[in-house]
Structures are given as structure tokens and as C-alpha cells.
A = this chain, B = another copy of it.
Amino acid sequence: MSLLFKNLRIHQVFGANTDVGKTLLTAALVRASAAKEKQVFYLKPVSTGPLEDADDAHVKRFAGPNAKLVHPRCLFRFDEPVSPHLAATMAIDAGKKEVVIPSDEAFVNSVASHIRQMALYASDARPSHMYVETAGGVHSPTLSGTTQLDAYRPLFLPTILVGDSRLGGISSTISAYESLLLRGYIVDAILLFRDAYYRNFEYLNPYFAERGVHVTAVEPPPDKQRDFDQNFATTEKYYASVAQEGRDGGVAGVVDHLDACHQKRLAELDSMPRRTLDTVWWPFVQHEHVQRESDVNVIDSAHADFFTIFNGKKQPSTTSTTKTTPSSLLQPQLDGSASWWTQALGHAHPRLALAAARAAGRYGHVMFPTATHLPALKLAERLVHEGPGKGWASRAFFSDDGSTGMEVALKMALRAFSSRHGLQGADRKKLGVLGLRGSYHGDTIGAMDACEDAGVYTCEWHNAKGFWFDPPSVAIRKGKTVVRLPAAIAARTEEGAEDVETGSLSWTYDVEKRLVTPLAGVYRDYISTTLEKLREKGEHRLAALVVEPLVMGAGGMIFVDPLFQRVLVDVVRGTPASSSAGDWSGMPVIFDEVFVGLYRLGQETTSPLLGVAPDVSVHAKILTGGLVPLAVTLASDAIFKAFWSEKKTDALLHGHSYTAHAVGCEVANETLRILDGIKGSEAWAEAKGRWLGGATEDAKDETAAVWSFWDPSFVDALSRSEAVEEVMTMGTVLAIKIKDEGAGYASTSAQSALVSLAEVGQQGEQLTAAPGGAPYNVHYRTLGDVAYFMLSLNTPPSLARSMEDKIWRALLH
């Protein structure tokens, strides 16, 4: 949730190791802050070791004369001087029944609660200071066993690193710093003792200056005295000395520096909206509509399913809020569209960050033609042999994003077609594609040309080449699964109705069974007849079938009747038998799985559900877990062989400079590894159970079953709501079509129906499902009259339920 208050400057103190002087230097900072007549807060969330040496007591004891030190506190205290996770276990083993190990979520919530409570006391007139001291080194495990860097990460407090002044301390200080950066932490200062023998500070000062980090070498503490009083006196004298204003080797200057960092951060956040409005040209945004600073979503950091956004431009000034509700200037915002459908594992996943670093450190980027490296090779093999290409693909071609991946797919399919038919010159240029109305394949001109030009999403050089069927679609209306037929198809059915109830979702997606229904026959005839007419007309020679299987995303989250897509493939290929053949027939079939693939809809690939495999498929978005751009186009051997020749110029002459960049490939491999783990998780089993019940057991392959992370009863209730026209869900996706009289693409009904989602709840006592339990709002996107929501593949069920509540309340609003 990231806590940031104007009048309370908070820093979290991490140690490069245990026993490096963390408490001592924090006590010195507290004292120096107090000496500047600041109100100071000190929190040590977890403390281990004998009570008589307790850090909070020590800090209190030496805070200085007249210090306004408020509630120095430990939240969890254990006697054993061992790592907190071990201390907690030992306490339980020793029979201390009052000890309960909090979950990471509960732990962060209690720290956040304490900080928010303290913020109540923070003086308005004079900014207060707060120091949150951690235990041990940066990666020491906290109570649950999660290491501190990861456990505290949702709070994203700016940090101070206490370096190690002993032998080996250069190494441990730099490594600890790197671990902090790997989690994205802001490191405002490094403090360490000025050890005259090892002189680590002499080394670390320029090292970190080059990296823009402020290092201060502090006068070391006096040796411990045996006599208590004498010891107290010496220590008191030491603190008085290091906290003294203007003293070399003291910390008063550090406190000023930390204040300056805080002010700079506030000023930067404050200036970002204006500067962005002045310099950035956003994608898909009409800037005329977004001119106010409050319209700019300032994302300070992100974690799991949440952005942390700056709300300084959005709320009334601090002075007007009542003191019972101190508002953090940063607040969690649920990333309701999974950042344009890219997120699979949430933001800033530490394993993905480490994978990126690992590949960057081993390879950087290395050029790919006629070369190979492990990350690319492993990814290619995984996708071709075990992933979406299993059973039909033979090759992986890398590019940079879904759009370029589709351009590659189109070049492959068109060439395969023109080669087989011996087309030359102008005949090659006249090829078109067959697709569905509402398709979207990306923003480069070639990808656009594979989509219809409906006059809205188009540009000067867009020249749509082909024919697009108006497809039947699936939705849930008033609790019933309905296939809506376009008039032209409806007219061919016996009943003539545009809406056909199909009984259940699972029946609707049981394509094999539906293949023998009358509707399949109607589809077959309709498609064949239309194609025949097109051939007669002869405008384009159709050379490839290009579809987004199951769902057309950008076109309005249209869930296409899978039976229609299956029949379309079968008709195009001429004989149903050819679907599973190694070679393509009729025309190559391209599946654009950029949005729908890799479990976005609950299945790794859409092929098992449709019962047919493509000849070419495209994968991106989730592929890298939502971290960096990368796309892979898979192709069958027959497609690959169409480019095989003695002539260099017959090759697929396409390639981006960063083709198969190691960072992207390594992150993709790590993503797929993590997905392999979570697809067997309890959360998945539970979600599947709710949708499938025992259904999957009666021989039905789970890879071809329809289920959702959204609750079936919530979806059912939504579909019956007055405000809702229809609803549909699969996997992580929930699409809600809002009732709107004057509907269509230009509609803003969805945007306005759910506008209250953008509002943040009152900052109150009740904990929410957001990190730190803070009130949160939802960032969501709409497509005309359709609002959609998308989860990550590891969104906690509790958060999904919380979103369902919010959506429900927003619709009733």
C-alpha cells in the first residue's frame, strides 16, 4: 500500500548484516531528529533477544533531553537471539500458547496499522520523523519465514541501509544494496561506522556516489564498559556527540539529507502529472480529453495486483481532512485490466526480477541469426514441444510483441499459400485473409490489414485485405447461457431466432458433441455458401484463416461461439480429417493467442477446447509474466518448409534487432516454470471445483473444460442485474455488457455505470484485501458498453471476492 505522509517522513532501516550497528545508528538518528525538535516515532516490528537489551528501550533511553519520542514499540517480541522465524517456532515449541505466527499479509497489516495510528499523532505544523527498524540482515526471515525484503515490500517505505564496517563489510554492504534494488526499494542513505583499520567507508563512499547514493561514515561507538552507570554515561555522551548539529562523523546531516529526500519525493510526485501532460504522447489516448493533472494516474510503484498511486492531486488538501482519518498520499489501486492483459503473476514478482537480472548479467542481448543461447532454446523447446505447440508445431520464431508476432504469422501463411499455388508477382500481392468481424491483431499496418476497416480503428495506410464473418457469440443473460446468432445465420435455422439458449456453459464449449447438432450444419452451409460467393466475386484470393480463438478481446470482449470457429476451420481445411494432419490444407490457419493463450482463459492453449490445432500461432503478453515485451510465432513444419530453398531471398526475411533477447526469454522461462507450479494450486482447484463440480471426472479432459476464477454465483447474479445486458467469463476474464439504449462502440455506458470503482473508500479502521489493509480503488478499462476485469493467475481468492463485492456495489450505486 506504500505509506507516504506529508507531515511524517518515514524511513525503514535495513542492515547489511546482523550486528552492524543498526539499532545504535537508528537510535542516533532518532536522537538527531529529536534534537531538531522533531516529533520522532520508532518502530521495531520484530525483536528477538533478551528483554533487558530491547532495542525500543535502548532508543527511548538515549533519545536525548526533552525528546518528543512517541511510542517506541515492538509489535512482536521473542527472547531467543536467533532469526525471527526460528525464535517464533522456538517459542511455540516451548509451549508459549500466546504466540501465533502471522501470515505475511497479517504481518504487513499490523505494521501498516501501527504506522497509520502514529500518523494520527504527527504534528501538522512541523513534519515528524519515523524510523522503522528491521531485524538482522536485509534477507533475514521474518516471522512466517518470508525474508524481510519480500515481506515488507508491499509497504514500499524508503530505506536506509546500515553498512558493515568490519572485514568483509564492503562485500556484504554492496550485496545487501543489490538485494534491496532487486525489490525496487528506494535507498536514500547508507550509514556505517568509520572503522580506521578496515576503512570500508573509504571504498564505499565513491562506489555509491557513482550510483547516486549518499554514504555517511559515523564515528564508532565507545567500547562497552563493565560498570552499568559508567556504561550509561559513556553511551549517553556518545549519542549526544553523534547527534550534535554540524558534527563531522555525526548523523544530524543525515537527518537533513533524509528530509531533503522526502521533500524531493513529494515535489517529484506533485510535478509528475504536469510534466507528463507536457511531454508524453500516450497510446490510444485522445489528449484533448485528458488535460487536468488529476486525470493522470501517477504510479509510484506496483506490487502483486496493485499499483500504488499518488493521490495528491485528487484529494482535498491535508489541512481540510479531519485528524481521525490521516490519508496516505499513496494508495493502492487494483490493476483491474491486468495492465492491458499482460499480468500473469502480478507486478514486480521477485523471481521474474531475478530472472531478468540473471540473463542481463550473463548475456545482455546477443544476436540471434544462426546463433543460439540457452534461454531462447529452452523457451522454443518448451513452447513447441510441451506448450501450445505440442502436437503440431515444429518451429519457434521470435519477435518483440503481439503485433510483430502477427506480422510474422501473416508472412508465413501468405508465403506458404502463394508458394503452394505457384503465385508470382501481382498475384501474390492480391492475397487476402479470412477472419471474423471484431478481430484485432495489433497496431502495425500489416496486423491491421488482417482486420476489417470499420472506420473507427484505422489509419491512412490501413488497407483491410480479406473477408470477415459476423460471428455468433456466447453470453450469460439472466442466468442462462445464450448463443446470439447474426440475422443471416438465424434466418437459416429452423426456429429463426437470434438468441438460442444452449443449456449450460459447459455444453456450449463441448464442441465435439455440438458438431453433430443442426446448428453445426447451419454454420457449415452458411460458411461454405459465403466462401463460394466470395470466390465468384474474386476481389481477394483468400490465403489464410486468421482468428482470435474463443474471445475477440479488443473488439469488445466478444466470446465467439466455439462451434462456429471450429466449423470455420473444418470448412476452410476441406475435410475434418485434415485438422490433425501434419500438413495444412485449404489455407493455413493462424491462431492469434496473444490475449487468449497461456491460461488467460484457464487453458494453456485454446486448441483442445476447439478440437483443432492451427498451422501458425502467436504468443505474447502473459508469455513474460507481464514484465517485458516478447513474442513467439509457432509454425508447423509444412509452413517452415515453404521458405526452404537454395535461395537466400526465399528465407523469411524478417527479424528485429532484439530477436530472442535473453532477458525476455529467461523471464518467459521463469514465468512458465512458476505457472507450472500454480496451475496445481489450491486456489485453482477450488475455482475449478466451483465451476466444474465433479464434471471433469467423467472422462472430460480438463484442458478442454470451461471454468473461471470468478465465482459462478456472482456471475449468475450479475447476469440477472437490471443494469446488465449480459455477462461472460472464462479463466481470469470477466466481461460485463452494460445496458445502454444508444449502444455501440462510442458508448460510455460501461465507463459511467462503474465510475464509483475509481473512488477510494473512506480511510477507516476496517482492513481491506489490499496490501496493508488500506482502502483501494480499481483501475479498469472499458470497450464501449463493455466493462471488463482481469485477474492475474495468482490473484488470491480473497481479493477476487473483494473485487466482486466492489463491482456489485458499483453497479447498484
Quick check: A459 and B381 within 8 Å, CB to CB?
Answer: no
Among residues of B, the one whose C-beta sits closest to the C-beta of A632 is B281
Determine, out of A645-653, A684-692, A731-739, the stretch whose residues face the partner at the interface. A645-653
Given contacts A377-B276, A628-B663, is CB(A178)–CB(B182) below 8 Å? yes
Cα A377 to Cα B277 in complex, Å, equals 10
CA distance A465 to B459 in the complex (A): 15
What 13 new A-B contacts, CB under 8 Å, besides A356-B360, A410-B461?
A82-B197, A83-B167, A138-B171, A272-B372, A280-B376, A281-B397, A283-B654, A285-B651, A287-B651, A298-B372, A348-B364, A400-B400, A444-B446
Judge if A757 is at the interface, Cβ distance under 8 Å.
no
Nearest Cβ on chain B to A360's Cβ, whole angstroms: 4
Contact of A366 with B by CB under 8 A: yes
A-B contact pairs, 9 of them (CB 8 A): A279-B396, A283-B654, A296-B371, A339-B367, A356-B360, A443-B655, A446-B461, A629-B657, A629-B661
* Residues of chain B within 8 A of A649, CB atoms compared: 456-457
Q: Which of B179, B272, B287, B428 contacts A174 (CB 8 A)?
A: B179
Docked complex Cα distance between A279 and B429 (Å): 30
In the complex the two chains form, what is the Cα distance from A85 to B199 in whole Å?
11
Is A347 part of the contact surface with B, judged by Cβ < 8 Å?
Answer: yes
Chain B residue at smallest Cβ distance from A412: B281
A211–B543 Cα distance when bound, in Å, is 46
Output the least CB separation between A376 and chain B (Å).
7
Contact flag A369-B283 (CB < 8 Å), given A137-B168, A459-B414 = yes
Residue A620 CB within 8 A of the other chain: yes
Near B by CB (< 8 A), chain A positions 339-357 give 339-343, 346-354, 356-357
Q: Which residue of B lies closest to A445 (CB)?
A: B446
The 10 closest A-B pairs by CB, nearest first: A283-B655, A184-B362, A137-B171, A18-B168, A445-B446, A184-B361, A347-B364, A353-B360, A414-B460, A139-B171
Task: Kindly specify which of A110-118, A299-307, A560-568 makes contact with the partner chain.
Answer: A299-307
Q: Could you tell me the distance in whole angstroms from the C-beta of A159 to the nearest C-beta in chain B? A: 12
Q: Is the Cβ of B644 less than 8 Å from the Cβ of A296?
A: no
In the complex, A19 has a CB within 8 A of chain B: yes
Query: B137 and A175: CB pair below 8 A?
Result: yes
- B-facing residues in A434-479 (Cβ within 8 Å): 442-447, 449, 456-463, 465
- In the complex the two chains form, is A356's CB within 8 Å of B17's CB? no
**The one of B136, B364, B428, B462 that contacts A171, using a Cβ cutoff of 8 Å:** B136
User: For chain A residues 246-285, which have a beta carbon within 8 Å of chain B?
Assistant: 268, 272-273, 275-276, 279-285
Q: Is A398 an interface residue (CB 8 A)?
A: yes
Render A64-80 as a binary contact track against B, CB cut-off 8 A, 1 for contact. Answer: 00000000000000000
Nearest B residue to A427, CB-CB: B460
A175, B361: Cβ atoms closer than 8 Å:
no
- Indicate whether A550 reaches chain B with its CB closer than 8 angstroms: no
Is there an interface contact between B459 and A184, defined as CB atoms closer than 8 Å? no
**Once the chains are docked, how many angstroms separate the CA of A352 from the CA of B663?**
12
Chain B residues, Cβ within 8 Å of A367: 335, 337, 339-340, 342, 779
Residues of B within 8 A of A396 (CB): 279-281
| Cβ < 8 Å to B, chain A residues 393-429 | 394-398, 400-404, 407, 410-411, 414-415, 418, 428-429
Query: Is the CB of A643 closer than 8 A to any CB of chain B?
Result: yes
Verify B655–A359 contact, CB threshold 8 A: no
Which B residue's beta carbon lies closest to that of A136?
B168
* Contact A397–B283 (Cβ < 8 Å): yes
Q: Hey, which chain B residues are within 8 Å of A272, CB to CB? A: 372, 374, 377
Alpha-carbon distance A197/B376, docked complex (angstroms): 44
> A228 contacts which chain B residues (CB < 8 A)?
none
The docked-state distance in angstroms from the alpha carbon of A380 to that of B278 is 10
- Is the pair B301, A363 in contact by a Cβ cutoff of 8 Å? yes
CA distance A173 to B663 in the complex (A): 24
* A196 CB to nearest B CB, Å: 12
* A282/B178 in contact, CB under 8 A: no
B629→A302 contact, CB < 8 A = no
Contacts of A140 in B (CB 8 A): 168, 170-171
Is A234 part of the contact surface with B, judged by Cβ < 8 Å? no
Chain B residues, CB < 8 A from A173: 139
List the B side residues contacting A407 at CB < 8 Å.
Answer: 443-445
Are A627 and B175 interface neighbours, CB within 8 A? Answer: no
CB distance from A448 to the nearest CB of B (A): 8
Q: Are A411 and B347 in contact (CB under 8 A)?
A: no
Q: Which residues on B sit within 8 Å (CB–CB) of A302?
A: 362-364, 366
What B residues does A358 contact at CB under 8 A?
181-182, 184
CB closest residue in chain B, given A295: B370
At the interface, yes or no: A368 with Cβ under 8 Å from chain B? yes
Interface status of A183 (Cβ within 8 A of chain B): yes
Instruction: Contact check, A370 vs B172: say whether CB atoms are below 8 A apart.
Output: no
A182 to B353, CA, bound (A): 10
Measured between beta carbons, the chain B residues less than 8 angstroms from A394 are 279
Q: Is residue A626 within 8 Å, beta carbon to beta carbon, of the partner chain?
A: yes
- Taking the complex as formed, is A766 at the interface, i.e. its CB lies under 8 A from any CB of chain B? no
Find out whether the CB atom of A431 lies under 8 angstroms from the CB atom of B461: yes
A685 to B404, CA, bound (A): 41
Q: Which of A83, A200, A446, A658 has the most CB of B within 10 A?
A: A658
Q: Which residues of B contact A147 (CB under 8 A)?
A: 170-171, 174
